[in-house]
Structure 1
Amino acid sequence: MMATVSKSNSKALQLIQQYAHRLRFNTPADYDPILAAIGNARIVMIGEASHGSHEFYLHRAEITKRLIEEKGFTIVACEADWPPAYRVNRWIKKLSSTNIKSANDALKEFTRFPSWMWRNTVVVDFITWLRKYNENLGERKKKVGFFGIDLYSLQASREEVLKYLEKNEPSLLEEARKNYGCFEKYSDEQEYGYCAGTKLSCGCEKEAIEVLKKMLEHHAKTISEEKTNDIESDESFYAMENAKIVREAEKYYRHMFEGGEITWNIRDTHMCDCLQDLLKHNGPDTKAIIW
């Protein structure tokens, strides 16, 4: 039996044929209409059409390279956790005193499912390209950064805040350790969310907020001091964002078992806030690509 095409489907097919733009590998000119449409936009949201499609990942990386080279974008912000992405950021900028040996090594802290969203060959090649690109920039030019703007890393972010305070602001460490100790009775974020969300325990909202207040004050003080260099400012910013994640992740997991749209709204709002923080921290001329 011959299939028939409805009028609505026929119209949709005509529109696709009229406006769809073919992208081929190793054909840079195919991206020209996309870059022309982007124009002078400050934020470009490429996103994630699927979790794991090699073809999409590769085209996304190639478009991003051109945006960096031709339009001066300096932030790649991903649907990824903040701490493991910042390890990549340190590697591509050669910021870390830690001996990160390779691109694969830089990505090794992406262990939460689905780890293959970031630990794949396309991302390995892309961050290797970013490192070389940054190496070739003049000293006065701003290097490209790689960041995660998601909020799932409650435990990892909590640990990163404490590590930072131990090294840079010991006077705040004891109080922060005491407040964050509230989370230690739970084996993972899901157990915390279940216990706090169902009122089996009182939760750690107050404690997370208290640490965040201190970290906000500390960061404001750090960036206001003339002696603070860029690396110190960046590390303070990194720690402050981790404290924000602990607070937002606490809220996310506490509401997770309620169902409905609230957790999606918490997560999306956090991503928007994190992006705004990145733009503010990196200056008014900063432009960002969202993966």
Structure 2
Amino acid sequence: MTVRRAADSGAAAAAEVRSLARPLSDDAGLDTLVDRVHGARFVCVGEASHGTSDYYRWRARLTRRLVEEHGFSWVGVEGDWPDCWRINRWVKGDADQDLDAVAVLGRFERWPTWMWANREVADFLTWLHAYNLARPRPLRVGFYGLDVYSLWDSLWEIMGWLESNAPESLPTALRAWQCFVPFGEDPHRYARSTRLVPAGCESDVVRLLVEVRSRARERAGDEEMLDVVQNAEVATNAEHYYRTMVRGDRQPWNVRDHHMVDTVERLARHAGPSSQGVVWAHNTHVGDARATDMAREGLVNVGQLLRERHRAGEVALVGLASHRGTVVAAGAWGAAESNLPVPDGHPGSLEALLHESLGSPAVIVFPDDRAGPWLSGWQGHRAIGVVYHPEREALGNYVPTRIGARYDALIWLERTTALHPLHHEGRPTEPELETEPTGF
């Protein structure tokens, strides 16, 4: 009887999948998804890995339609603010116009560079640059980084701006910088030092943030001031992030995702009360953490926080998944990247069910009533980090998920291929403790 009930449940879940899925072969296959999400203020689009070409390309195609057809005015990505700010200025026609997208992306240095320095992102930015230059300057679409890691780069940017625009405030920035100097721009050394002096440089970066915010009030709505304020926010939250790493708990993850959501809110305010934006991040950030086992660990994420802060309908969460293929990843943190196989979805997983039920790419838009056996049930959902071991996948790469509560829609791809990095990684770097882009 138990076997029969399991078979009946599986058959019902497969039937539910088939009833909701729509074929996906070209941009027209995105119609039902665009219709579902275009009214949201924040459309968060995920990926099951940071190294899969098809995820990047379909996410870009969806974003293009939201920009061209529905006036979305900014894109926020799981990248460092200073690096993405240079891209933002390029795509808006404000700097480096003698360069192409490949040259601009070639400046990414922090491992794993392949996350953004890849052919797929270059193609999207090339399109966005041309799109923007055909529009009036106030209507050009921005491209911004949401992440928290760039402590030293952000401090350097702040000092450069203060030196030129508010030299009387420069001593405040220098005090913050000098507090970090003994650690040689090494977040690990700083994090370890706070075991003995828990406050560390916290008071210095907080004073700097207060100073920069006061300057921002004088230039509200200024795009240049947005950059300065955000760098101060990064410096403050990065100091907090690295200080919490030494505790050995999961708090750094929450610091990071709160920072990303606060940045999303800041971008939305800057763009205006009726603005709409697209967020690009890993599924583990986009899909509501309350619908996974992350909640038992006390973890929150971007999708959950945005849903909690905004009314129903203002936030749309879109996941991506695939059955098999190849992916760019590394065998250890800081190591050279390589193309690795992605095995067939593990039996009993979300990926296995979708393969067995559909067998070809599809868009699945979830209805308001998500009580069906597939949408309300629990299944493992694959998540691949920048460090990946295909032979161990079944032991740690599947996140228990209630799919109907985690997302509002899912893009399903049967077979995917590896991303195309613009260059290979340089020398190995020291692990950043719990700072991996997917949190694994």
**TM-score normalised by structure 2 residue count:** 0.60
Would the aligned equivalents of 2:76 and 2:279 in 1 still touch at CA under 8 Å?
Answer: yes
- The equivalent of 1:13 in structure 2 is 14
1:211-226 alignment runs, 5 A limit: 211-223=208-220
In 2, distance between residues paired with 1:48 and 1:191? 32
| Structure 2, unaligned runs of 5 or more | 281-440
The secondary structure found in structure 1 opposite 2:146 is strand
User: Could you say if the C-alpha distance between residues 192 and 13 of structure 1 is closer, same or farther in structure 2, counting changes exceeding 3 Å?
Assistant: same
Q: Deviations over 1:128-187 (max 9, x none)?
A: 100000011135x51000000110111111111111111221111123112221011113
- The equivalent of 2:131 in structure 1 is 133
Identify the match of residue 187 of structure 2 among 181, 189, 214.
189
Distance apart, 1:202 and its partner CA? 4.8
User: Could you say if the C-alpha distance between residues 28 and 172 of structure 1 is closer, same or farther in structure 2, counting changes exceeding 3 Å?
Assistant: same
- The equivalent of 1:116 in structure 2 is 114
- The equivalent of 1:84 in structure 2 is 83
Q: Is residue 2:174 matched to residue 1:177?
A: yes
Distance apart, 1:19 and its partner CA? 2.0
Would the aligned equivalents of 2:73 and 2:271 in 1 still touch at CA under 8 Å?
Answer: no
Q: Deviations over 1:15-36 (max 9, x none)?
A: 2222233322xx2210101111
Distance apart, 1:100 and its partner CA? 5.4
**One-letter code of the match for 2:238?**
A
Q: Is residue 2:153 matched to residue 1:152?
A: no
1:247-266 alignment runs, 5 A limit: 247-266=236-255
Would the aligned equivalents of 2:23 and 2:29 in 1 still touch at CA under 8 Å?
Answer: yes
In 2, distance between residues paired with 1:169 and 1:275? 27
Would the aligned equivalents of 2:38 and 2:66 in 1 still touch at CA under 8 Å?
Answer: no
Q: Deviations over 1:72-122 (max 9, x none)?
A: 0011000111000010000001112x5651112221332212211111111
- Range 56-65 or range 100-109, more displaced: 100-109
User: Could you say if the C-alpha distance between residues 191 and 99 of structure 1 is closer, same or farther in structure 2, counting changes exceeding 3 Å?
Assistant: farther
In 2, distance between residues paired with 1:253 and 1:280? 28
**One-letter code of the match for 2:172?**
E
- The equivalent of 1:226 in structure 2 is none
Would the aligned equivalents of 2:191 and 2:245 in 1 still touch at CA under 8 Å?
Answer: yes
Identity among equivalent pairs (%): 36
Would the aligned equivalents of 2:102 and 2:119 in 1 still touch at CA under 8 Å?
Answer: no
**One-letter code of the match for 1:160?**
E
- The equivalent of 2:277 in structure 1 is 288
Q: Is residue 2:68 matched to residue 1:69?
A: yes
Distance apart, 1:14 and its partner CA? 2.5
Aligned-pair Cα RMSD in Å: 1.9
In 1, distance between residues paired with 2:98 and 2:243? 35
Would the aligned equivalents of 1:87 and 1:107 in 2 still touch at CA under 8 Å?
Answer: no
1:202-241 alignment runs, 5 A limit: 202-223=199-220, 233-241=222-230
The secondary structure found in structure 1 opposite 2:22 is coil
Would the aligned equivalents of 1:100 and 1:106 in 2 still touch at CA under 8 Å?
Answer: no
User: Could you say if the C-alpha distance between residues 76 and 39 of structure 1 is closer, same or farther in structure 2, counting changes exceeding 3 Å?
Assistant: closer
In 1, distance between residues paired with 2:118 and 2:50? 11
**One-letter code of the match for 2:239?**
E
User: Could you say if the C-alpha distance between residues 213 and 63 of structure 1 is closer, same or farther in structure 2, counting changes exceeding 3 Å?
Assistant: same
The secondary structure found in structure 2 opposite 1:285 is coil
- Range 11-20 or range 254-263, more displaced: 11-20
The secondary structure found in structure 2 opposite 1:40 is coil
Would the aligned equivalents of 1:79 and 1:150 in 2 still touch at CA under 8 Å?
Answer: yes
Larger fraction in strand: 2
Larger fraction in helix: 1
- Range 30-39 or range 64-73, more displaced: 30-39
Would the aligned equivalents of 1:155 and 1:189 in 2 still touch at CA under 8 Å?
Answer: no
**One-letter code of the match for 1:273?**
D
Q: Is residue 2:231 matched to residue 1:242?
A: yes
Q: Deviations over 1:182-209 (max 9, x none)?
A: 011113112211221x225751000010
In 2, distance between residues paired with 1:91 and 1:270? 25
Identify the match of residue 266 of structure 2 among 251, 269, 277.
277
In 2, distance between residues paired with 1:100 and 1:160? 22
**One-letter code of the match for 2:13?**
A
1:21-100 alignment runs, 5 A limit: 21-24=22-25, 27-96=26-95, 98=96
Would the aligned equivalents of 1:82 and 1:149 in 2 still touch at CA under 8 Å?
Answer: yes
The secondary structure found in structure 2 opposite 1:76 is strand
